[in-house]
Amino acid sequence: MLFVLRVTELPLYSLRKPKRVRTAFSPAQLLHLERAFEQNRYVVGQERRQLAASLNLSETQVTTVMLTRPAGHEAKAEAEARKSEAEDEAEVQFFFEVEARHVRTTQCV
């Protein structure tokens, strides 16, 4: 006996392409890519081919990392700026508290 299923009777997930496994970059690869990004945010052509070959990655992987890196770079820069701002505010607050204590102690004497 032969069973025939119509396409409409198949579950949708069986019609989709399987998901690609996410690439796990080694720490050395990430460090090398980070340094390349710091030197030049837009790696193209021969430079990209050389970088990919030296890291045993495809050009597409290098391109993807370089394109997604700016978002992380900007978020990190914003976080550092907020931290610096908070530290500056804390320093100013500390200065005013010390100054206020000094004024109170000199007025009591």
**Greater model confidence, 37 or 5:** 37
Average pLDDT over residues 11-17: 67
Judge whether 73 and 37 are in contact, CB under 8 Å.
Answer: yes
Query: Does position 9 have pLDDT exceeding 70, yes or no?
Result: no
- What are the tens digits of pLDDT across the range 27-59? 899 899 888 888 887 888 899 999 999 999 999
Query: Does position 61 have pLDDT exceeding 70, yes or no?
Result: yes
Which among 107, 86, 105 is positioned nearest to 97, based on CA atoms? Answer: 105
Query: Does position 62 have pLDDT exceeding 80, yes or no?
Result: yes
Average pLDDT over residues 7-33: 76
CATH number for the domain running over 24-108: 1.10.10.60
Q: What is the rounded CA–CA span in Å between residue 83 and residue 30?
A: 25
